[in-house]
Amino acid sequence: MIRVSPVTDHQAGPGVRIGFWFTRRALARLTGRTPAGALDPLRVYARNPRLMRGYAGLERATAALTAVPLRLRALAELRAATLIACPYCIDLGSAAALRWGLTDPEILALPRYRTDPHFDSRDRAVLDYATAMTQTPADVPDVLVNTLREHLGEDQLLELTHVIALENLRGRFNLALGIEPAGFSTSTVCATAIAATPDEATP
């Protein structure tokens, strides 16, 4: 149950309703569907319209990033979501990942990415980085960043760091306020939450 009352369409002012409309459209493009609970995080943010506008702007800027291939971005975001164990993020992230180039076997193999043949050295470097950033406390050693630099340029490293950090924001916000999965992954494969092993972030 959501711990802060979401703003309904009826309660929302004109600006907030416009934000809801654009977000519905963006989620439909991203996942192919907009289930009933799709806007729950934004409806909670809408209790403070100024905060909602700032957050929405951050999401719009993030959606426009192009340096990191979508498949790698999907791997990083979904790995972070599963480590945080945010049900809403895993649900949404799994649906987006399928449209961004991940396959069903790859999504199901995420907990075993270190040894699973579906992932190459670049995939593993990205997933190690997402793991290191998401664990608490975060621990991102130089050796890990240097390994990632063998596959990505500086602009890509910046974008990848941003999308992982943003996924941490989404996940921890949703978990703390009890936001449940919306049903984006109904009838499709969905990743599962998994805890990282203590040595997982340092290959």
Please report the pLDDT score of residue 201 as a whole number: 45
Q: Are residues 57 and 76 in the same domain?
A: no
Please report the pLDDT score of residue 198 as a whole number: 43
Please report the pLDDT score of residue 193 as a whole number: 85
User: Does 36 map to a domain?
Assistant: yes
Q: Are residues 119 and 45 in the same domain?
A: no
Q: Are residues 27 and 96 in the same domain?
A: no
Please report the pLDDT score of residue 202 as a whole number: 46
Number of domains in the chain: 2
Q: pLDDT tens per residue, the chain (203 residues)?
A: 899 999 999 999 999 999 999 999 999 999 999 999 999 999 999 999 999 999 999 999 999 999 999 999 999 999 999 999 999 999 999 999 999 999 999 999 999 999 999 999 999 999 999 999 999 999 999 999 999 999 999 999 999 999 999 999 999 999 999 999 999 998 688 998 876 554 454 45
Structure-derived torsion over alpha carbons of residues 88, 99, 189, 32, reported in degrees to the nearest 10: 60
Please report the pLDDT score of residue 195 as a whole number: 63
Q: Are residues 56 and 75 in the same domain?
A: no
Q: Are residues 118 and 34 in the same domain?
A: no
Domain extent, residue 164, equals: 70-176
Q: For residue 110, what is the DSSP state?
A: G
Q: Give, in order, the Cα–Cα distances in Å from 167 to each of 6, 8, 162.
A: 21, 25, 9
Please report the pLDDT score of residue 197 as a whole number: 52
- For residue 166, the domain's CATH number is 1.20.1290.10
Burial tier of 131 (Cβ tally within 10 Å: 0-12, 13-18, 19+): buried
Q: Are residues 157 and 139 in the same domain?
A: yes
Integer-rounded Cα radius of gyration of the chain? 17
